[in-house]
Amino acid sequence: MSKMDSSKINLDCLPGRMDEVIDKTIADKRLVGAVTKVAIDGKMVYSRAAGFTDREKNRPMREDALFRLASVSKPIVSTAALVLVGQGRLQLDDRVDRFLPEFRPRLQNGEFAALTIRHLMTHTAGLTYRFFQEENGPYQRAGVSDGMDQSGITLEENLQRIASVPLLYTPGTEWKYSIATDVLGAVIAKVTETTLSEAVHSLVTKPIGMTDTDFIAVDPDRLAIAYTNDSPEPRPILNPDKIDFLEGTAGFRLAPDRALDGTAYPSGGAGMVGSAGDFMRLLETLRKGGAPLLPETLVRELTTNQIGDLPMAYWPGRGFGLGITVLKDPIAANTPESPGTWRMGGTYGHSWFVDPKQRLSVVAFTNTALEGMSGQFTVDLCEAVYDSIKK
């Protein structure tokens, strides 16, 4: 890949545009606090902590603040699985029941499903999330945890509950964002014969120095207070709490104290805690080719659309790789990002994207659920970055 012409980047313009978006969003009381980082061609060109980590105690946001990652856990755990693939200890087309013989969900017709690691990583496994279903839907009736509450159950118990509900569709025939990465986490633990926390540490976070990232907060004093959008300003999320998401669905069940609970099961899809700087380190490792974690061939699979033309609800113009979305059509997605850009977010208020063509990585971690994941802030921030790139 040729090096980007640095003359295309207006570094005089970038900080001002970024500050403008962040300051306005905080002034409008849509965000309480945020840590935002931009790296171009491997160089950090913008890094700022803004707002409050704890508004009620008047504690300003800090650049090394820790955040509940929610779905930002997924690319970390998916990378761990691919490290095992690179080591020859796991294959994408291995059947899940080879490692988890008790996890054998059935199809709607009652037959056992043939579920593979690839199905889990591409979210084509036939699974869903409880928060996508209606109130008192099948997952709720089965007692399934989405990995963000304090359920008091083990990972194995949650897998039994998930497997007790028929799959929504035959694996590989549809795409639906789901709890599949929690199942993948159980596979990783089984292959490594350790806990998922220890496995992720040895496979991903330790080799590249992600010292802030684990399944519980490594330093509780740095953990940001969690908020959710409300009127006239965001309110602290209670423990436990319920947050409406999409009309007609059960919504999110959150327990912020889970980030401090060493007994909570390790949710591969939603349970990690970390910092913006740590996550930027992972993104840049992958963008630069994967060393020392992965061979470049596996990074290409991770970041290439793996689901063909299967429609993706909520993400028009995008496809899905091995744990992340991949931009196919910027016009359909209504975004200035280049085709091939990878992006995801997290319920507690995070967004990030990597544009390989522009050699660009952006991380925006906030402590305000929903707005920081999929609100206008994410759109405005993206546009501010690309406004600084001369076409």
Residues forming the active site: 71
Pairwise CA distance, residues 152 & 117, whole Å: 27
Which 3-state string (H, E, C) describes the chain? CCCCCHHHECCCCHHHHHHHHHHHHHHCCCCCEEEEEEEECCEEEEEEEEEEEECCCCEECCCCCEEECHHHHHHHHHHHHHHHHHCCCCCCCCEHHHCCCCCCCECCCCCECCCEHHHHHHCCCCCCCHHHCCCCCHHHHHCCCCCCCCCCCCHHHHHHHHHCCCCCCCCCCCCCCCCHHHHHHHHHHHHHCCCHHHHHHHHHHCCCCCCCCECCCCCHHHECCCEECCCCCCEECCCCEEECCCCCCCCEEECHHHHHCCCCCCCCCCCCEECHHHHHHHHHHHHCCCCCCCCHHHHHHHCCCCCCCCCCCCCCCEEECCCCEEECCHHHHCCCCCCCCEEEEECCCEEEEEECCCCEEEEEEECEECHHHHCHHHHHHHHHHHHCECC
